[in-house]
Amino acid sequence: MEKTAVAVGDSTKLEIIFSTRKYRSTVKKSPRIKTNEGGPEKRVHISTTMTERPDSTYPVVNTPYKVDMSQFTEKKVIRKKLEITNVSDEDLQISLVGWAEDYFDVKMPESVRAGKTVEAEIVLHKDVYDKSFDKSLTFELSDEKHSRFTIPVKRTVRNVRTPGTRAAGGSGGK
């Protein structure tokens, strides 16, 4: 467990990772947050609806429904596109709610017209080109339910040999 010291009146970000595992339907979780201010522990309430078929969500369908930015060759994978298709009969505004700001930027359109598809883009920061991670991005729509969609963003980096070098951890030498 990582501890962070925060001065009185200051703030910090807290990352809570909710793994969907094999959950089905609606899932509710309430992780506890313990502080040194005394009193009872605080709780954050998370409620989500798992979708077995991500190609049948409403009012939008995201393709891909999870973004894999893994790199297994020398070619740098630094950007990926994501399509958002509006399958409803109303134009929708899109608001980016949250993403792993220390890892990547998200270029998200402001809206998607009824029956149309728009493109978003995820661009890695240079300082994470050699890092593996599991993060996500979340956006909200202007429909009557203010629907939110969270898209997993994964990156696995394997040690890649460049010409004239040995692979890391290889045997040889003394």
117 with 125: CB under 8 angstroms?
no
pLDDT digits (tens, 9 = 90+) for 101-117: 999 999 999 999 999 99
pLDDT at 108: 97
Residue linked to tokens 């040194």 = 36
Give the separation between CA 76 and CA 36, rounded to whole angstroms: 44
Give the separation between CA 93 and CA 147, rounded to whole angstroms: 11
pLDDT at 154: 95
pLDDT at 95: 97
CB crowding 130-168: b at 16 or more within 10 Å, else e:
eeebebbbebbbeeeeebebbbebebebeeeeeeeeeee
pLDDT at 174: 40
Domain chopping of the chain, boundaries: 54-155
> Which residues of the chain fall short of a pLDDT of 70?
1-4, 19-21, 23-24, 49-56, 160-174
User: Is the pTM value of this prediction over 0.85?
Assistant: no
* 54-155 has CATH 2.60.40.10 classification: yes
